[in-house]
């Protein structure tokens, strides 16, 4: 565990907590893409199946369980408890356009052709693009609530911090995983435009709105 | 090749 990895994990944890608290406190999930949340639940479910086969540490297991539980709790809040506030008219990104190619790629490019390994690879690839429905929704409505942009910033920062973690681990331990690195790069690149808007607008106290 | 046991990241 190095400082980049720890900062990445904390950022990831904060993102998920911010989202749940935002929905709970405002009693509304307006502006949040349910489709991205479904993809994230699928990401955690397929990646953390090793909870049953492989124990790494109490920290590792606790975080995995928290991510899985929080992702399903978010889906429950969006599609059940606060369903009336869900902005489905603007949440129209076709997730099968992500799931189908990602499934094919996971079957073709993986470290080992075994069920758990393929599901892990699928989750890494899917995570890299899972935010697209949310970013699509923001671009469609042309704006995001400030709390939603904090959520997106924390979620995007997490994988970017992991990139530094992987650079560190490559030099310190000789450890590298090309699948995770390439997917992490793609994931971070997708956030670039948002990061720019966040830094130039939200951090200066303005609402995140896109130029018309 | 990365072994399953080396997947200590989240």
Q: pLDDT tens digits, residue range A75-122?
A: 999 999 999 999 999 999 999 999 999 999 999 999 999 999 999 999
Region A61-82 average pLDDT: 98
Give the confidence band of A141 by pLDDT, cuts at 50, 70, 90.
Answer: very high
Region A19-23 average pLDDT: 97
pLDDT surpasses 90 at B7: no
Residues on chain A touching B7 (C-beta within 8 angstroms): 50, 54, 56, 120
**Residue contact B2–A111, C-beta within 8 A:** yes
Residues on chain B touching A56 (C-beta within 8 angstroms): 7-8
pLDDT surpasses 80 at A212: no
Angle at the Cα of A138 from the Cα atoms of A133 and A139, rounded to 5 degrees: 95
Q: Which residue of A has its CA nearest to B8?
A: A56
Q: How many CB pairs under 8 A join A and B?
A: 29
**Residue contact B10–A60, C-beta within 8 A:** yes
Taking the C-alpha atoms of residue A38 and residue B9, their distance in angstroms, rounded to an integer, is: 22
Mean pLDDT across chain A: 96
Specify the DSSP element, H or E, that contains A127.
helix A115-129
């Amino acid at each position: 565990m190095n400082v980049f990895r720890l900062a990445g994990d904390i950022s990831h944890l904060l993102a998920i907590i911010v989202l749940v608290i935002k929905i709970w406190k405002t009693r509304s999930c307006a502006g949040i893409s349910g489709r991205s949340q479904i993809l994230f639940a699928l990401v955690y479910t397929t990646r953390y199946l090793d909870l049953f086969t492989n124990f790494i540490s109490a920290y590792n297991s606790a975080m995995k369980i928290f991510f899985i539980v929080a992702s399903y709790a978010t889906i429950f809040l969006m599609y059940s408890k606060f369903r009336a506030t869900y902005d489905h008219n603007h949440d129209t990104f076709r997730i099968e356009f992500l799931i189908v190619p990602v499934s094919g790629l996971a079957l073709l490019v993986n470290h080992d052709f075994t069920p758990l390994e393929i599901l892990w690879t699928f989750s890494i690839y899917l995570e890299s693009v899972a935010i697209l429905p949310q970013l699509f929704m923001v671009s469609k409505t042309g704006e995001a609530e400030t709390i939603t942009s904090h959520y997106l910033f924390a979620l995007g920062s997490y994988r970017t911090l992991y990139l530094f973690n992987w650079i560190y681990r490559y030099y310190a331990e000789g450890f590298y995983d090309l699948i995770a690195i390439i997917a992490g790069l793609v994931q971070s690149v997708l956030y670039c435009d948002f990061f720019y808007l966040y830094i130039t607008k939200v951090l200066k106290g303005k609402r995140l709105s896109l130029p018309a | 090749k990365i072994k399953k046991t080396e997947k200590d990241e989240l």
